[in-house]
Chains A and B, each alone.
Chain A
């Protein structure tokens, strides 16, 4: 069975601070995929990034960066110079690749609520 743990329930920062959201996953599969989604106050879920288990390269996209470490089963998300618009709930999710090669079920963490204030 798969499991995703986001131990930080809520984080509050002041604008321009850097913040890291932690994600730890568990799976016995050797091929798996990790995702981050953002849920702003309006409620929709917005895809941010995906990473497969064979690609441990970190990624940077503007103020966002992701650190994938298989050795610690972590896929952490850092926002640099946070802004009020970053206030949202962030979900980390995991899927594994079944032998059929079809898309697989997503297992979500419980989410981290980020509040950025002026």
Chain B
């Protein structure tokens, strides 16, 4: 059972480059989200989706774009990378009910130089 799969695990980008972080889950979860983890800041929500075709902004959405065309996939796009986007990114999924725990991917460590 794969759970939540993120690719790549590591990435180095130059300022201004664009890229897509991939996230896929095989648990038929309706709810998916992206977080970034920075030292001393915990995890902060970037974008989330309550189902295919529905996305919304989280706490720190600027510079990121998402779409949800299928239940399984929720890619995160960096439009023009900036050094401030250097972080560890986590994708998570859960059932669309309160009181359900989120399952997290392994994380993507992104460095923007």
Contacts and interface: CB of A to CB of B under 8 A. Distances in A.
Interface in A67-95: 91, 93, 95
A47 to B, nearest CB: 4
Interface in B73-112: 88, 90, 92, 94-107
Contact of B97 (A37, A102, A105): A102
A50 B101 contact: yes
A76 to B, nearest CB: 17
B104 A106 contact: no
A95 B100 CA distance: 10
B99 A52 contact: yes
A104 B106 CA distance: 21
A33 B97 CA distance: 12
A108 B43 contact: yes
Interface in A33-63: 33, 35, 37, 43-45, 47, 50, 52
Interface residues of B, number: 30
B101 A47 contact: yes
A103 B57 CA distance: 15
Interface of B: 30-31, 33, 35, 40-45, 48, 50, 58, 88, 90, 92, 94-107
B94 to A, nearest CB: 5
B27 to A, nearest CB: 13
A41 B33 CA distance: 23
12 contacts: A6-B42, A9-B40, A43-B106, A44-B104, A44-B107, A103-B98, A104-B98, A105-B48, A106-B43, A108-B43, A110-B41, A110-B42
A33 B99 contact: yes
A108 B44 contact: yes
B98 to A, nearest CB: 4
Nearest to A109: B42
B82 to A, nearest CB: 23
A106 B103 contact: no
A104 B85 CA distance: 25
Contacts of B101: 35, 47, 50
